[in-house]
C-alpha cells in the first residue's frame, strides 16, 4: 500500500465514526486552544516589553541608591543620629506614596565613582520645567521622562538621545506634536523648541533645545526625554541662587561601566557597591524581574494546557482501541490480502496523528481568531492607555510547534492501539464475531 493511500484511508477511517472522532477532537481542541492562547499572551507581552524598553539599550548603566538602612527597623526604634548622613528624600513618581529613602550626597557620589569598574557617575536629577513652546504657537506644560537616558526609545521619527553630545537635545512623545503645532513626527525632527524653567529665586528663564527624535508613548514614562546635557543645563538654572548645599542630595545616581563587561564583572561591581552600602540594579535587572514574573505565570498556564492535552491523549487511545475492536475483521481481511503488519501499524498511527492534527489545527485557528478579537477589543478599551499593546500575539513558529507537539502526543497515544491492530492474526480476526 502506498503512503498516500495509507494517509487517505486513515483520514477516511477517522471520519467513519464521526461522533467518536468529533469528541476526541474536542478534547484535543481544548488543550491546543489553551496552549495557543497562553503562548500568544507570552509572545504579546514579551514583544510589548521589548519594544517599549529595548532592555539592551543601556547595558552599561547601573541605577544606584542607598541601601535600606538595616538599623532603622521597627523593633529597634530609631537609629542614632549621624550628622554625616544626608536627609531622606521622597521618591517621586512610581513609588509608594510617602516612602522615603536615604539620599545620596556628593560624598556618596565620589565613593561610587571610586568603585573599581565604574567609569563615571551622574546624579539623577529631577528637573521640573514650566512649559514648552515651539515657534510662538503657545506654551504647554511639559512632563519630563526620568528614565529617558536609560532606555532606548521606540522611535516614530528621528534618532535616539545622545548623552555624549554637548548640544541640548529633547525627545518628544507623539502626543505632544499636535498641541505644539507640528504637522507630523518627521516635521518636528531638527526643530528648536523653547523650554521655560523657574530658578531658585523665582525668576523664569528660557532654554533652547533641539528635537532629535519623536518617540511612541511608552509604559516606562510618559513625557519628553532630555539628554544629560539638557538636564544639566536645566538643573543649573533650577539651583541658581540657592544657598550652598541646599540641593546637594539625590535619590538615585546613574553609574556607567564598561559596556563590554561580562555578567561576572557586573556582578562584582554590584557586590562591591553592596558592601559599601549601596543598592544597584542594571536595566536588565529591573526588566528581568518583571519578565520572570510573566514567564512564571505563562509557564503555569502552559502546564495546565499540557495536562489537558495528556488527558486528550488518553481520549485518542480510547478512540483508536474502539476503532481497532470494531474493525477487527477489516484488519484481518487486509492482512489476509497481503497487507503487512507495518502498514497496518502505519495506518492506525496515521489516523491518530490526523485526529491530533485536526484537533490542534482547529484549536490553534480558533485561538488565533478569538485571541486577535479579544486583543483588539482590549487594546481599544482597557489597555487604550498603553498604545501598541496587543496582549495576545501569535508567532507562526510557535503555532507550528504547538501543532507539531500535539501530533507527536497523538502519535504516541496511537502506538498502543496501532500495535494491537498490527499484531492481529488474520485468521482470528476473520473468525471474530
The contact set with another protein (CB under 8 A) reads 1-2, 5, 9, 12, 16, 329-330, 332-334, 336-340, 343, 425-427, 430
Q: How far is the CB of 24 from another protein (least distance, A)?
A: 19
Q: Which residues pair with 225 in a beta bridge?
A: 171
- C-alpha distance from residue 317 to each of 57, 158, 312, 358, 387 (Å): 51, 59, 9, 16, 47
Q: How far is the CB of 358 from another protein (least distance, A)?
A: 19
CA neighbor of 249 nearest in space, from 75, 120, 124: 124
Closest to another protein by CB, 246 or 337: 337
- Beta-strand relationship, 204-215 and 155-158: antiparallel
- Please tell me the total number of residues recorded for the chain in this structure: 433
Q: How far is the CB of 329 from another protein (least distance, A)?
A: 6
Q: How far is the CB of 310 from another protein (least distance, A)?
A: 32
The Cβ of residue 219 has, within 10 Å, a number of other Cβ atoms equal to 14
Q: How far is the CB of 341 from another protein (least distance, A)?
A: 8
Could you tell me if 68 and 278 are in contact, meaning their C-beta atoms sit under 8 angstroms apart? Answer: no
Closest to another protein by CB, 217 or 351: 351
Closest to another protein by CB, 135 or 428: 428
Q: Return the CA Rg of the chain.
A: 32
CA dihedral 217, 218, 220, 226 (to 10 degrees): -40
Q: Which residues contact 152 (CB under 8 A, 6 or more apart)?
A: 53, 54, 56, 57, 58, 160
Closest to another protein by CB, 5 or 271: 5
Closest to another protein by CB, 168 or 351: 351
- Beta-strand relationship, 155-158 and 192-198: unpaired
Closest to another protein by CB, 322 or 373: 322
- The angle subtended at Cα 374 by Cα 369 and Cα 379, nearest 5°, is 130
Q: How far is the CB of 425 from another protein (least distance, A)?
A: 8
Q: How far is the CB of 427 from another protein (least distance, A)?
A: 5
Closest to another protein by CB, 140 or 432: 432
Give the three-state DSSP class for 162: coil
DSSP 60-110: TEEEEEEPPPTT--TTT-SPPP-TTSPPEEE--TTSPTT-EEEPEEHHHHH
Q: How far is the CB of 347 from another protein (least distance, A)?
A: 11
CA neighbor of 111 nearest in space, from 269, 265, 273, 264: 273
Closest to another protein by CB, 2 or 96: 2
Closest to another protein by CB, 95 or 425: 425
Q: How far is the CB of 13 from another protein (least distance, A)?
A: 10
Closest to another protein by CB, 245 or 342: 342
- C-alpha distance from residue 364 to each of 132, 349, 368 (Å): 50, 22, 6
Cell of 48: 510589548
Q: How far is the CB of 26 from another protein (least distance, A)?
A: 23
Closest to another protein by CB, 2 or 178: 2
Give the Cα separation of 268 and 125 in Å (integer).
26
Question: Cell 502552559, residue?
Answer: 302
- Rama region for 308: left / alpha / beta (φ>0; ψ in -120 to 50; rest): alpha
Q: How far is the CB of 344 from another protein (least distance, A)?
A: 10
- C-alpha distance from residue 76 to each of 8, 66, 101, 229 (Å): 79, 20, 18, 44
Give the Cα separation of 196 and 194 in Å (integer).
7
Amino acid at each position: 500500500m502506498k503512503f498516500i493511500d495509507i494517509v487517505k484511508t486513515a483520514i477516511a477511517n477517522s471520519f467513519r465514526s464521526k461522533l467518536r472522532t468529533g469528541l476526541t477532537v474536542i478534547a484535543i481542541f481544548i488543550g491546543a486552544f489553551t496552549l495557543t492562547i497562553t503562548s500568544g499572551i507570552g509572545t504579546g507581552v514579551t514583544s510589548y516589553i521589548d519594544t517599549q524598553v529595548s532592555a539592551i539599550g543601556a547595558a552599561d548603566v547601573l541605577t544606584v541608591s542607598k541601601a535600606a538602612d538595616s538599623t532603622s527597623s521597627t523593633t529597634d526604634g530609631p537609629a542614632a543620629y549621624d550628622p554625616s548622613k544626608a536627609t531622606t528624600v521622597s521618591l517621586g513618581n512610581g513609588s509608594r506614596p510617602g516612602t522615603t529613602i536615604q539620599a545620596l550626597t556628593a560624598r556618596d557620589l565620589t565613593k561610587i565613582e571610586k568603585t573599581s569598574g565604574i567609569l563615571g557617575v551622574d546624579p539623577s536629577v529631577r528637573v521640573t520645567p514650566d512649559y514648552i513652546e515651539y515657534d510662538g504657537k503657545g506654551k504647554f506644560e511639559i512632563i519630563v521622562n526620568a528614565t529617558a537616558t536609560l532606555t532606548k526609545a521606540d522611535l516614530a521619527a528621528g534618532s535616539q538621545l545622545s548623552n555624549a553630545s554637548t548640544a541640548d537635545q529633547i525627545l518628544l512623545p507623539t502626543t505632544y506634536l499636535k498641541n505644539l503645532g507640528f504637522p507630523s513626527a518627521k516635521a518636528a525632527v531638527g526643530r528648536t523648541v523653547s523650554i521655560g524653567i523657574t530658578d531658585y529665586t523665582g525668576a523664569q528663564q528660557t532654554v533652547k533645545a533641539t528635537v532629535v527624535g519623536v518617540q511612541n508613548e511608552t509604559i516606562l514614562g510618559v513625557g519628553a526625554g532630555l539628554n544629560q546635557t539638557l538636564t544639566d543645563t536645566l538643573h543649573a538654572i533650577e539651583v541658581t541662587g540657592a544657598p550652598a548645599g541646599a540641593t546637594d542630595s539625590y535619590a538615585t545616581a546613574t553609574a556607567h561601566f564598561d559596556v563590554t563587561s561580562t555578567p561576572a564583572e557586573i556582578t562584582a561591581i554590584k557586590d562591591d557597591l553592596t558592601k559599601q552600602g549601596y543598592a544597584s540594579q542594571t536595566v536588565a535587572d529591573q526588566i528581568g524581574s518583571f519578565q520572570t514574573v510573566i514567564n512564571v505565570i505563562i509557564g503555569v498556564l502552559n502546564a495546565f494546557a499540557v495536562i489537558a492535552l495528556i488527558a486528550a491523549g488518553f481520549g485518542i487511545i480510547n478512540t483508536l482501541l474502539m476503532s481497532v475492536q470494531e474493525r477487527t475483521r477489516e484488519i484481518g481481511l487486509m492482512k489476509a490480502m497481503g497487507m503487512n503488519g507495518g502498514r497496518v501499524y502505519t495506518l492506525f498511527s496515521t489516523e491518530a496523528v490526523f485526529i491530533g492534527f485536526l484537533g490542534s489545527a482547529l484549536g490553534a485557528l480558533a485561538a488565533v481568531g478569538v485571541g486577535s478579537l479579544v486583543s483588539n477589543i482590549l487594546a481599544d478599551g482597557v489597555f487604550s492607555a498603553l498604545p501598541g499593546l496587543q496582549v495576545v500575539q501569535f508567532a507562526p513558529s510557535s503555532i507550528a510547534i504547538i501543532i507539531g507537539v500535539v501530533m507527536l502526543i497523538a502519535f504516541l497515544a496511537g502506538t498502543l492501539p496501532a500495535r494491537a491492530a498490527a499484531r492481529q492474526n488474520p485468521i482470528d480476526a476473520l473468525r471474530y464475531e
